[in-house]
Amino acid sequence: MAAALAAFATVPQGLRANRGLTTTVKTRSVSLVSKLTSKRKYGLQQCSATPTLAREALAAPPVSIDSIAEQLKAAGGPKERAQLLLELAKSLPPFPADARTMANRVMGCTAQVWVDAELNSSGRVQFSADSDSDVTRGLAAVLVTALSGLTPAQVLEVEPEDLAELQLGPAVLTPSRTNGFLNMLEAMRKRARVLSGAFLPTFPSLRVSADAIDPQGTFAIAQAKYLEPDPAQVDALVKVLSEKRIGLVAHFYMDPQVQGVLSAAAERWPHIHISDSLVMADSAVRMAEAGCTSVAVLGVDFMSENVRAILDEAGHADVAVYRMAAADIGCSLAEAAEAPAYSAYLGAAAGNAAPALHVVYINTSLRTKALAHAQVPTITCTSSNVVQTVLQAFAQVPGINVYYGPDTYMGANLAVMLRAVAQMSDEEIRALHPEHNRESVRALLPRLHYFESGTCIVHHLFGAEVSQLLREAYGDAYLTAHFEVPGEMFALAMEAKKRGMGVVGSTQNILDFIAAKLAEAVERPFPDTLQVVLGTESGMVTAIVRKVQAMLRAAGRLDVTVEIVFPVASEAITTSANSPADPSQGASAGGTLPGGLPVVPGPAGGEGCSAEGGCASCPYMKMNSLDALLGVCAKIGTPGEALLEAFRPRAYTEPMADGRSIAAAGCEPILYMRGFQASKRLPDALVADILSRKHA
């Protein structure tokens, strides 16, 4: 066991996280031995399939994985191991220059690494690899030796843990080499999958370079089209906004057609801002300060209500706020918190003898916040600060129970994430939150609750099916997932994160991650393609494309490309024969499903959905059309303005039991959040409220 543990100790943190038990290590080692034993039966000679003959003739004598393991063990110190790796690098068969293609490149490596694979006539995989760095080449040689000669199915069974007994050690496997090593393994697994004959889908994508946007697939073509909007529409919008001094705040997840026009117009009228819902209100205040006399809001109702409330609070009650429709622009997620089930959930929290805090997602109405706060002390959160808020509450108030809601996916993801944190070392946990350690995180898990029936109406986009396809076809790409996506997609991105290939979090976190990876790529002197799977609403793509192109142009790099992949589930897809009159179905762009069905991917031109609410199939977001916007703007400042009464956000002036208006009471949880963001502690008033309600 000690030996197994020692071997395990050479595996970096990330690998261990989801297999914390030493018994697992033992089983794993045994399974490696059996895999390797079965492999030994087939022998480790070079394969002799005809296409590789030339290469083989040049090949150095084969080295077995067992002898590598033995030599590494015998090598002693880290220096000797590194030396051995360099020798292994030399033993790799030469890699043909014409196979050094971008398609064969391994993503997420600091050096250039190429891998290729062939099946010989007895169905065994022969891997080949190369790198421009000697140590990396040595690591590639280890994998080529370990995996060649297996069947594709056997290669797919090999897990990173299986390679632990190679005992490469931390001196050889620095964190960045570890990521590279794991990414090579992932790239090899993908090639084995291809060789096994599995169907690997190609999702639509946008290839973005400094000077071009190259869409792949119908859906992406539609997205790309909107990046270059109709100049006449842009002119009309700029004219009316500037003449009437109208500010415009829009949520990230607008229909891409609308976003395209807004982004272009923003270059000529500065008071247009596209952001997430929190920033929308702050931008509106800045517009008011800059002299805008009204603000148009493109989003769902809780966003315009929020803009109204924050403007009032900032002393701009005279600035008019307009929504884009006379009817309600709802959000099924936000409405979940208005259902009786939600108040029952909070009722149970209030009845619990332990101190309780309700952490409510910012994307809910002021009424929800006000009524919830009356039941249980409430603080709002965003997907960027929810983890810190929850950790802080547990650290600051002994014995507290935290109730999160209403988004079930986000709640479940939060629980998954904290369970993963509970497996980390004390040191890593302290880096995340200074007042926590493994014991305290384990102890809080049973006191974290989340609402279980809050979901978006159209919510399958990143569900189990699409996640499975993604894992198979894009397992070696960069994977991003918003906190609100269903658990499978989230888990996939969490796993990729451990190899430096993924991010989970808010839309801003996703944008920052892509920018950081791109910054690393442009630092390196060679061409690169970064394939990024966009695990969030496709409306985000406008912001990403602009950022990526700005960076590539600034760096003067025409040879670096970012490919943004849109994962699309078949449930989120409808045939083009479907009537767009059914708002729960996607609309009409065409495309092909596996099997040749004509399809429309969920998120096309405002289709599709994430719990973010930018659901394209969300009939509500669609109400924020360009026509609606121009219609509202045309009436502002004219006698027709009277018709806009129904377009104003609800003011919630009706009083609560304590005499305050709903708006004022609903703002309190938001102010608590702002207090928390400023001081990193829950405000004293909130803590006092939490404690006093239990002693009342």
> DSSP 3-state assignment of 203?
coil
Tokens 């080692």 found at: 29
Toward ligand NAG, which CB reaches closer, 365 or 561?
Answer: 365
Minimum distance from residue 337 beta carbon to ligand NAG (Å): 13
Nearer to ligand NAG, 42 or 214 (CB): 42
- State the pairing for strand pair 294-298/205-208: unpaired
Smallest separation (angstroms) from ligand NAG to the CB of 124: 3
Least gap, CB of 230 to ligand NAG (angstroms): 26
Shortest distance, position 614 Cβ to ligand NAG, whole Å = 6
List CB contacts of 171: < 8 A, sequence separation 6 or more. Answer: 78, 79, 81, 82
Beta carbon of residue 149, minimum distance to ligand NAG (angstroms, whole number)? 4
Min dist CB 626 to ligand NAG, Å, is 20
Q: Based on C-alpha coordinates, what's the Rg of the chain?
A: 28
Smallest gap from residue 42 Cβ to ligand NAG (A): 4
- 141 Cβ neighbours under 8 A, 6+ residues apart: 63, 85, 88, 89, 91, 92, 129
What is the spatial distance between Cα 692 and Cα 694, in angstroms, rounded to a whole number?
5
Is 381 known to be catalytic? Answer: no
Cis peptide before 406 (omega within 30 of 0): yes
Task: Specify the residue, 540 or 644, whose C-beta has the smaller distance to ligand NAG.
Answer: 540
- In the complex with ligand NAG, which residue's Cβ is closer, 178 or 385? 385
- What is the rounded CA–CA span in Å between residue 594 and residue 459? 21
Distance CA 245, CA 268 (A): 13
CB of 463 to ligand NAG, least distance (A): 18
The residue (of 332 and 585) whose beta carbon lies closer to ligand NAG is 332
C-alpha triplet 179, 183, 187: angle, nearest 5°: 175
Q: Give the residues lining the site for ligand NAG (CB under 6 A).
A: 42-43, 45, 47-48, 120-122, 124, 149, 251-252, 276-278, 362-363, 382-383, 506-507, 612-614
d(Cα 499, Cα 110) in Å, to the nearest integer?
13
Beta carbon nearer to ligand NAG, 355 or 613 = 613
Nearest residue (CB) to ligand NAG, 278 versus 402: 278
Sheet holding 502-505, edge to edge: 213-216, 205-208, 560-565, 528-535, 478-482, 502-505
Structure tokens at 556: 């003067």
Q: Please, what is the minimum distance in Å from the beta carbon of residue 132 to ligand NAG?
A: 27
For ligand NAG, the closer of residues 218 and 382 by Cβ is 382
Kindly tell me which of 363 and 480 has the beta carbon lying closer to ligand NAG: 363
Contact yes or no for 483/504 (Cβ under 8 A): yes
Q: Measured on CA atoms in the order 388, 393, 394, 395, is the torsion positive or negative?
A: positive
Cβ–Cβ < 8 Å for 499, 14: yes
406 Cβ contact partners less than 8 Å away, ≥ 6 residues apart: 333, 334, 336, 337, 342, 360, 361, 364, 451, 454
Alpha carbon 423 to its chain centroid, in Å, reads 22
* Minimum gap (Å) between residue 32 Cβ and ligand NAG: 18
| Of 674, 671, 666, nearest in space to 368 by CA | 666
Determine phi and psi for 159, rounding to 5 degrees: -110, 155
- Which is nearer to ligand NAG, 43 or 399 (by Cβ)? 43
Report the greatest alpha carbon distance in the chain. Answer: 89
Q: Given 47, 109, 609, 615, which residue is catalytic?
A: 109
Residues 6 or more apart whose Cβ sits within 8 Å of residue 669: 360, 369, 372, 373, 378, 379, 380
- CA atoms of 493 and 312, how far apart (whole Å): 40
Query: What b/e readout covers 112-130, taking b as 16+ CB neighbours within 10 angstroms?
Result: bbbbbbbbbeeebbbbbbb
Residue number of the CB atom closest to ligand NAG:
613
Residue 1 gets which letter from DSSP?
-
Q: Which residue, 149 or 475, is less far from ligand NAG as judged by CB?
A: 149
CB of 637 to ligand NAG, least distance (A): 29
CB atoms within 10 A of CB 427: 9
Say how far apart CA 3 and CA 462 lie, in whole Å.
41
Active site residues: 109
